[in-house]
Amino acid sequence: GYYADRWKNLLVPMSSPTKAYFDTSDKDPFCMYNYLLDITTWNKNIRRGFIQVKITDYAGNTVESEASSEASTFQQYKRVRILTGFYQDLEKISKISLTFSTKTLIGPKHKLRILQMRLKSLNNPER
């Protein structure tokens, strides 16, 4: 397991409380590889939805994050931090893909315009 205080400086900004959930896998060896996804968007209108992250290494191996159960709200020029988990760890990432979904069948499809994005490994903070 991981001690929550090891990630305190990454997950808890100085002035606001943050919820942190560390998941484990239902597959052997019962480990999830956690990443903190930090996104700044520039859509003029507020978007609410779910982000799916896919990472690829230089050998072409690809893993997809587990789906989040809570929707995030994205506002223009506001940073959003999302905890993502993968069943497999890729050491040298060559490509990051994001999929935004509102998970609604009715209504228009919306795009999420990303101004800045950072993906940081919580299992290996030196990356």
**Contact yes or no for 115/42 (Cβ under 8 A):** yes
Model-level pTM greater than 0.85?
Answer: no
State how beta strands 72-74 and 33-41 pair: unpaired
Give the number of residues written for the chain: 127
**Contact yes or no for 74/46 (Cβ under 8 A):** yes
Domains of the chain, residue spans: 24-121
Q: With bands split at pLDDT 50, 70 and 90, how would you rate the model's confidence at 1? A: very low
pLDDT at 97: 92
Tell me the per-residue pLDDT of 79-115, one tens digit each, with 9 for 90 and over: 999 888 888 888 889 999 998 888 777 766 778 889 9
Cα angle 94, 101, 60; round to 5: 20
Of 14, 11, 39, the C-alpha closest to 122 is: 11
Tell me the per-residue pLDDT of 10-38, one tens digit each, with 9 for 90 and over: 555 555 555 555 566 656 666 788 889 99
CATH classification code of 24-121: 2.60.60.20
- CB-based burial label for 32 (10 Å; 0-12, 13-18, 19+): buried
How many distinct helices (H) and strands (E) make up the chain?
1, 7
pLDDT at 19: 57
